[in-house]
Chain A
């Protein structure tokens, strides 16, 4: 299984399954951001080198919630228009979203442990992200357990919308819980104001991660489209 840059030499039905320019651009952008973050961004004096995890953690969190928001919107419009493409979009955004959410949940503790002394704090943001992950996983497991495409699309749409409704309630509950049982001061996730160099790195990270989301979303969507087309041709 040799890795080729384009599918031009492949037979027509395989020609399109190549690594497309968008994905290449996205991965280069993310790699460049990593390089800049590691070697060309100053260290933060108080948190030390571990602070650099923030350049992955925050942009990944942004994408995770963006992806979920889009799942919810696509779900709503699907129930209205019943266009299969919306269901495929939701499916793709959910799968890419769970990947980014996983990155948030792994980098979060890796950042929390050295900087605040514990792997996990049940603060509003982390807990919300954890629940996002649960909803995503439930969504994908449910999709995997339903064979009928129309039923699967409807169920997914219902879950997508209800999940979006749930998010503010989780946030509210955890916020109230934390107000009642506050974390020790040292663990308050305060975001330090970033000087120019660091801010630029962060912004580049947000941009490159968003580009990566779009590239992966597109690739995943094409997978879903090809699968459905195959199923239609066999039926």
Chain B
């Protein structure tokens, strides 16, 4: 990858993160949603029938998915005001740089939410901290990459339609399932103290998905912002 693509991508990522950092609305919404989900999921089930530990993986991955969507929504949403996207397209940066830059910003956003939500779930659901946690973190990162690869592409498409806020989740969710299911299953197995080898199969699926879809979405992206 040419160095100017990378530096352009980093510049775009820095710009997006700076914009988000100024108001922090999407990030705070995600945190509020995360806390809400943690509380509601706990009280919606009978704790004597279903131990909180069994709920934890599901709650975790619902939080990651929907907070991710909150962040992804604004990814291209911010370019709508005053047609800022035109400025971006006229600048001497490759389309790939735009995709990578925005993807990187989105990835950091999702990772930040994960970094807060994971300890929160451990705290409120009494999840025993064990060696498996390093693997859980790896799963979280791999899954975040997949979610962001898909979401960044669909965000660029959805933002140009009349039903942007409906379309982003509607188009993304079928694609999120082969990410969230392996991730949640592997997380559940690890949190229950099962050997890492069991989760390894799911990790391979996640890795395969990431490789295929990061490539496919990066290749498809230029088609979505043609003039």
Interfacial chain B residues near A142, Cβ < 8 Å: 157-158, 161, 167, 171
Distance in angstroms between the alpha carbons of A157 and B217 in the assembled complex: 13
B130 CB, min distance to chain A CBs, angstroms: 21
Distance in angstroms between the alpha carbons of A63 and B174 in the assembled complex: 21
A90 CB, min distance to chain B CBs, angstroms: 14
Distance in angstroms between the alpha carbons of A145 and B159 in the assembled complex: 11
Given that A145-B167, A165-B212, A165-B216 are contacting pairs, would A158 and B174 also be in contact in the complex, using a CB cutoff of 8 Å?
no
B140 CB, min distance to chain A CBs, angstroms: 18
Cβ–Cβ contact A146 & B160, under 8 A? yes
Cβ–Cβ contact B175 & A166, under 8 A? yes
A162 at the binding interface (Cβ < 8 Å): yes
Cβ–Cβ contact B174 & A135, under 8 A? yes
B84 at the binding interface (Cβ < 8 Å): no
Interfacial chain A residues near B181, Cβ < 8 Å: 173, 177
A36 at the binding interface (Cβ < 8 Å): no
Interfacial chain A residues near B82, Cβ < 8 Å: none
B117 CB, min distance to chain A CBs, angstroms: 23
B80 CB, min distance to chain A CBs, angstroms: 15
- Say which residue of A79, A145, A172, A176 sits within 8 Å of B223 (CB atoms): A79
Cβ–Cβ contact A162 & B178, under 8 A? no
Interfacial chain A residues near B167, Cβ < 8 Å: 138, 141-142, 145
Interfacial chain B residues near A138, Cβ < 8 Å: 167, 170-171, 174
* Interface set, chain B 31-83, CB cutoff 8 A to A: none
B103 at the binding interface (Cβ < 8 Å): no
Question: Residue of A at shortest CB range from B201?
Answer: A176
Contact with A along B141-170 (1 / 0, CB 8 A): 000000000000100011011110011001
State the majority secondary structure of interface residues on A: helix
A147 CB, min distance to chain B CBs, angstroms: 8
Distance in angstroms between the alpha carbons of A159 and B162 in the assembled complex: 17
* Interface set, chain A 70-101, CB cutoff 8 A to B: 79
A119 at the binding interface (Cβ < 8 Å): no
Cβ–Cβ contact A165 & B177, under 8 A? no
Cβ–Cβ contact B174 & A145, under 8 A? no
Cβ–Cβ contact A177 & B178, under 8 A? no
A199 at the binding interface (Cβ < 8 Å): no
A35 CB, min distance to chain B CBs, angstroms: 38
Contact with A along B178-209 (1 / 0, CB 8 A): 10011001000000000000000110010011
Distance in angstroms between the alpha carbons of A162 and B170 in the assembled complex: 14
B224 at the binding interface (Cβ < 8 Å): yes
Cβ–Cβ contact A146 & B161, under 8 A? yes
B164 CB, min distance to chain A CBs, angstroms: 8
B223 CB, min distance to chain A CBs, angstroms: 5
Contact with B along A8-50 (1 / 0, CB 8 A): 0000000000000000000000000000000000000000000
Given that A141-B170, A145-B167 are contacting pairs, would A157 and B223 also be in contact in the complex, using a CB cutoff of 8 Å?
yes
Distance in angstroms between the alpha carbons of A135 and B213 in the assembled complex: 16
Distance in angstroms between the alpha carbons of A180 and B199 in the assembled complex: 11
Contact with B along A160-181 (1 / 0, CB 8 A): 0111011001101100110010
B221 CB, min distance to chain A CBs, angstroms: 9
Cβ–Cβ contact B201 & A145, under 8 A? no
Distance in angstroms between the alpha carbons of A137 and B173 in the assembled complex: 12
Distance in angstroms between the alpha carbons of A163 and B213 in the assembled complex: 11
- Say which residue of B171, B178, B226 sits within 8 Å of A159 (CB atoms): B171
Given that A155-B157, A162-B216 are contacting pairs, would A173 and B205 also be in contact in the complex, using a CB cutoff of 8 Å?
yes
Interfacial chain B residues near A154, Cβ < 8 Å: 223-224, 226
Question: Residue of A at shortest CB range from B202?
Answer: A176
B152 CB, min distance to chain A CBs, angstroms: 13
**Can you name 21 A-B pairs with beta carbons within 8 Å?**
A131-B174, A134-B173, A138-B170, A138-B171, A138-B174, A141-B163, A142-B158, A142-B167, A145-B163, A145-B167, A146-B160, A157-B223, A158-B220, A158-B224, A162-B217, A162-B220, A165-B216, A169-B178, A170-B174, A170-B177, A173-B182
B residues adjacent to A (C-beta < 8 A): 153, 157-158, 160-163, 166-167, 170-171, 173-175, 177-178, 181-182, 185, 201-202, 205, 208-209, 212-213, 216-217, 220, 223-224, 226
8 closest A-B pairs (Cβ-Cβ)? Answer: A145-B161, A169-B178, A145-B163, A134-B174, A145-B162, A173-B178, A158-B220, A138-B171
